[in-house]
Structure 1
Amino acid sequence: MSEAQVPWDAAQVRLWLERRIKAARSDQDVADRYGRDREDDYDKAAAEEWVCEQFRHNDAVDDQARFAEAVKALLAKDDFYRAGVRSEQRFEREVKAYLRKLMKMVKTNTGFGKTLRYQ
């Protein structure tokens, strides 16, 4: 038997995006304090923030299929830019990895209930 799929909850997804943005900003602050030792962490957190920020006020979040299409369209892009990152190549790699993670979450409609700081 298969489980009944949980209905799409746009409000929960928006809350999850907000919390991930706050967590990513906090991670960037911590990485900034440690300097060169944590440049990787800074770029990873910057990528997470950038991706979540792209969808925070996007109407596509209201519908699961439209949100999946929006994530897919952004993943198809070749160039991502954000001022202040330590390594543009690492930032782009982390953005693509985070978009793939988000795409998986959208397709399966799982993980958006995890709104705690660490996941």
Structure 2
Amino acid sequence: MVDTVAAAVLGAGAVVWLVWRGFCTPPGSFGSWAMFSHTNAYRVRLYDAADGQPVCPWTYEPRHGFLNSVEGLDDLVRYLEEEHGRRVVGEGVALLPFTSVRIAVRGGRVLRA
């Protein structure tokens, strides 16, 4: 009986500790969940360089790719130019682990603004 109670208390304590470490500690600290602290994403406004019309990147992105890296944006810019013949320009922000960086799309490349 004592072993069962001790195991239940230790199990409950471990679950509480995991939830607390996962949700209540700053990202990057020991034991934090990388799922929450190491995401990459970008938000950008793209325009066709020829006529200035807006280009929605989500029309060309895979449906599961809503948190994509800057390298993914570079691939998208290259894909638009090579496959669709659309040269795009734009500005936005890249969300990197623990920081954000302003970016620009110029000349078929993603650059730090």
TM-score, normalised via structure 1 length: 0.28
Structure with the larger strand share: 2
Work out which structure has the larger RCO, using CA pairs closer than 8 Å and 6 or more positions apart in sequence.
Answer: 1
Whose Rg is larger?
A: 2
